[in-house]
Amino acid sequence: MRDKSKKIFVAGHKGLVGSAIVKVCKDNGYSNILTRTREELNLTNASAVEEFFKKERPQYVFIAAAKVGGIHANSTYPVQFLLDNLKIECNLIESSAKYEAEKVLFLGSSCIYPRLAPQPLKEEYLLTGLLEPTNEAYAISKIAGIKLCRAYYRQYGKNFISVMPCNLYGPNDNYHPTESHVLPALIRRFHFAKLNNDKEVVVWGTGKPLREFLYSLDCAEACLFLMENCDASEIGEFINIGSGREYPIASLVEYVKKTVGYQGNIVFDHTKPDGTPRKVMDISRITALGWRPKFSLEDGLALAYEDFLKKM
Ligand code: GFB
């Protein structure tokens, strides 16, 4: 994808990763970027997606559109996480093939790995054990997307690749109080606790699970790097994207508390689920190809809090 005038479709451009991909593409001189809001194009509607591809014929497709959410949303709405995501990815991947997109990049998530896989998570651990029950539906949908991309490569030689990022955060995140991921949820909770002079903030679970976090622009840079430089023949089934640094949730809580400037106490609610005990990616394959993350957690958190304040 070195020709900067090629037509690029970013599906999910309003979300955390999609908006970062649009920014990184523009910053790198790509001028022909196609986007559609949910109102303009319902990605779960097969005929609408097909019509769109028939008319626009994008040459490069980033699939960053998905139904996403944190641990609570994932375990509460398994039907929507499975159905919506399967429809979105099947429609986009099938139409990309039919209307001859030159390359597709499909985004998954580190929750595709078995709950108790050895750590750090290597790409070859896919489907070697049982999934984490709180996000099984989402993981199954993402595994299906990876397999569909790979099937198109094996059967028809299509240059369709997949990437598995760790937990992401950054501008345009979802700050819903109960349905978001841990980092935006904590930013919101600490912010309002500070404003209300609350004596304590409740954090879900034990604080012991380990998670790896990557700033969304770093993930977007990795996606563009792979789109520009690495084909399906080289990447294999998929490739991990992460920072390689893991934090116990209890430490993350301290970072967010400091960033927001909250002075009160923290209480862990042990009735809420912890989810997977540990999830840290092995990023040796992508770093060997030449990509490196740029943002530290401290810098990324400060930028994420700035974004939250703008949206309030
Ligand atoms: O971000 P999160 O929902 O993602 O939760 P997962 C991470 C950890 O933070 C869990 C704890 O151990 C939670 O119990 N946590 C503490 C909280 N307080 C909160 C809070 O207020 N909100 C949230 N959400 N968590 C998701 C999957 O799992 O990871 C998705 O459900 C996706 O499928 C995503 O793969 C990347 O890492 O547990």
The Cα–Cα gap between 266 and 32 comes to: 48
By residue count, the chain amounts to 312
Instruction: Name the residue of 77, 181, 272 whose CB sits within 8 Å of the most ligand 1 atoms, as the mutation to test its pocket.
Output: 181
pLDDT tens column, 216-275: 999 999 999 999 999 999 999 999 999 999 999 999 999 999 999 999 999 999 999 999
Q: How far is the CA of 112 from the centre of ligand 1 (A)?
A: 14
- Model confidence at 2, pLDDT cuts 50, 70, 90, reads confident
Output the 3-class SS for 30-84: CCCEECCCCCCCCCCCHHHHHHHHHHHCCCEEEECCCCCCCHHHHHHCHHHHHHH
The Cα–Cα gap between 312 and 307 comes to: 9
- Model confidence at 3, pLDDT cuts 50, 70, 90, reads confident
Tell me the pTM. 0.97
Instruction: Name the residue of 16, 67, 68, 71 whose CB sits within 8 Å of the most ligand 1 atoms, as the mutation to test its pocket.
Output: 71
The Cα–Cα gap between 215 and 304 comes to: 9
pLDDT tens column, 100-149: 999 999 999 999 999 999 999 999 999 999 999 999 999 999 999 999 99
The Cα–Cα gap between 169 and 204 comes to: 18
Atom of ligand 1 nearest to the CA of 70: 3
User: Which pLDDT belongs to residue 267?
Assistant: 98
Pocket of ligand 1 (CB under 6 A): 70-72, 74, 109, 111, 134-135, 138, 167, 180-182, 185-186, 203-205, 209, 211, 249, 272-276
Token code pair at residue 104: 């597709």
For the chain, give the percent of residues with pLDDT over 90: 98
Among protein residues, the one with the nearest Cα to ligand 1's atom 7 is: 182
Q: How far is the CA of 60 from the centre of ligand 1 (A)?
A: 31
Among protein residues, the one with the nearest Cα to ligand 1's atom 9 is: 182
Among protein residues, the one with the nearest Cα to ligand 1's atom 18 is: 204
Token code pair at residue 210: 């380990």
Token code pair at residue 181: 């991921």
Token code pair at residue 125: 């651990």
- Model confidence at 171, pLDDT cuts 50, 70, 90, reads very high
Q: How far is the CA of 109 from the centre of ligand 1 (A)?
A: 13
Q: How far is the CA of 183 from the centre of ligand 1 (A)?
A: 8
Atom of ligand 1 nearest to the CA of 252: 9
Mean pLDDT, to the nearest integer, of 78-91?
98
Across the chain, mean pLDDT equals 97
Catalytic residues: 138
Token code pair at residue 21: 């991909």
Q: Please, are residues 30 and 41 in contact by the beta-carbon 8 Å criterion?
A: no
Structural domains in the chain, CATH included, are 8-311 (3.40.50.720)
Task: Tell me whether the omega of the peptide bond preceding residue 120 falls within 30 degrees of 0, making it cis.
Answer: yes
For residue 51, which of 42, 60, 59 has the smallest C-alpha distance? 42
User: Which pLDDT belongs to residue 29?
Assistant: 97
